[in-house]
Structure 1
């Protein structure tokens, strides 16, 4: 009987230890642009190995949508944006510690298709024969960059009636991969990781560079972990992952 009681007590003690360990685990809440999904996934085990007591909770979406969530009070510790404009807005509103903002990647735009397509990008867009998937031009950074690029080249207005809009960069890629759109305009990083589309050609650069900044919340509950993730992101391992996923390093980043 005494042995049974001792075993029960030991079991309760172990259970209490496990509960205590779980309670001690911290959370790092990251709001990240959808186009960074694979980069963050690749860096998650690197970060976890260095910080095993911190659990990552990641919210993906278009940077403009994430910015709106932040402005409406959504909890977060770290914002990884595909748009300097969206980062600037939350920093100007006092929601991001401006001293922590740092660019960590750059990107470009390409025209892709699930089928083999011959022809010059300009000619294909000037005389479209099917649907073209693009990001929402008023609310998604990919769409904003796309409209700016094509408008500067005199190609945007001619696409009326041929456009299929995606809510974020990954949805645009999915439309092109599935053939729901004949062509798609996506980030070069998304094209690099896709095995279902071929790059037809590059789009001309717009006036706004496609720069990805990171920034820590002004009222971060886990500021130390947020800063530690930025260190991983901008360190040797992070730069390697960024380049391996089709991004470019920001000027002076090598």
Structure 2
């Protein structure tokens, strides 16, 4: 009996040593703007290949909603925002390491339709017919940018009663693609990946550049992996993917 107990104890000790010697899988949590879904998805395989022991968990949504989740305690290591304002608020709240914040992409607004539409953007929006899908103007960066652009051009108030609101950029795209809205105002990057909508034209410049900043969490659980993903995103491969998916690089507009 003593021999059996001794052997069992030795086996447990060896198992414990083996477990402690094994490399534990870590998790990298990214909160990313919905409009980045395809571009980030393109970069995922490269990151997984170079970090096979890191589980990649990505939460997509409106940047404003993601910031609210962050402020409410949702775990994250890296924030990829479609809104400089939301990144700034998160940083001011102490959730982002300000030394890590870097712009990595830019975008612009376009009017699209699932059908061929003739006419100038300002004419179509100045005398609207049918429904127009836009982002929520009070809580979604796409909607905020849209309202600012159209208000500056004197077109916003005339759209009352014609607007269909989406909770994020991808829902607005879906409304336009499905024909549930006759027109849609979306990011150029979303128009570039869609086979179901045609670009009617670009919206008037609003004066506020649509800049996408990235920032690592002040209390990141996996800062090394977050830094590695950010290096991938802002390196040669990431920059090419950004352009391939219809975004511009910050220096392209200079």
1:174-203 C-alpha deviation (Å, 9 max, x unpaired)? 000000000000000000000000000000
Give the equivalent residue in structure 2 for 1:45. 45
User: Is the 1:104–1:253 Cα contact (8 Å) retained in structure 2?
Assistant: no
Q: 1:152: which partner in 2?
A: 152
Q: Is the 8 A contact 1:28 1:222 kept in 2?
A: yes
Aligned to 1:100: 100
* 2:8 counterpart residue number: none
Q: 1:235 to 1:162 in 2, by over 3 A?
A: same
- Deviation above 2 Å: which 4+ runs of structure 1? 16-21
Q: Deviations along 1:138-191, whole A, 9 cap, x unmatched? A: 000000000000000000000000000000000000000000000000000000
**Residues 172-251 of structure 1: pairs in structure 2 closer than 5 A:** 172-251=172-251
Deviation at 1:253, TM superposition (A): 9.5
Q: Distance in 2 between matches of 1:253 and 1:243?
A: 13
How far is 1:52 from its partner?
1.3
* TM-score, L = length of structure 2: 0.91
Using the size of structure 1 for normalisation, the TM-score is 0.91
Name the counterpart of 1:72.
72
**CA contact 1:30–1:76 (8 Å) conserved in 2:** yes
Q: How does 1:97-136 map to 2 (within 5 A)?
A: 97-136=97-136
Aligned to 2:6: none
List alignment gaps of at least 5 residues for structure 2: 1-13
Kindly tell me: are residues 97 and 116 of structure 1, through their superposed partners in 2, closer, same or farther at Cα, counting changes over 3 Å?
same
SS at match of 2:27: strand
**CA-to-aligned-CA distance 1:59-91 (integer Å, 9 cap, x gap):** 000000000000011100000000000000010
Separation (CA, whole Å) in 2 of partners of 1:18 and 1:247: 45
Q: 1:42 to 1:216 in 2, by over 3 A?
A: same
CA distance in 1, matches of 2:204, 2:230: 30
State the shift of 1:18 in Å.
Answer: 9.7
Q: Number of residue pairs matched?
A: 240
- What does residue 170 of structure 1 align with? 170
Cα RMSD over matched residues?
A: 2.0
The answer for the alignment partner of 1:4 in structure 2 is none
> For 1:186-224, what per-residue CA distance to the aligned partner results, in whole angstroms no more than 9, with x for missing partners?
000000000000000000111211000000000000000
Give the distance between the partners of 2:211 and 2:74, measured in 1 at CA. 24
* Deviation (angstroms), 1:17: 7.5
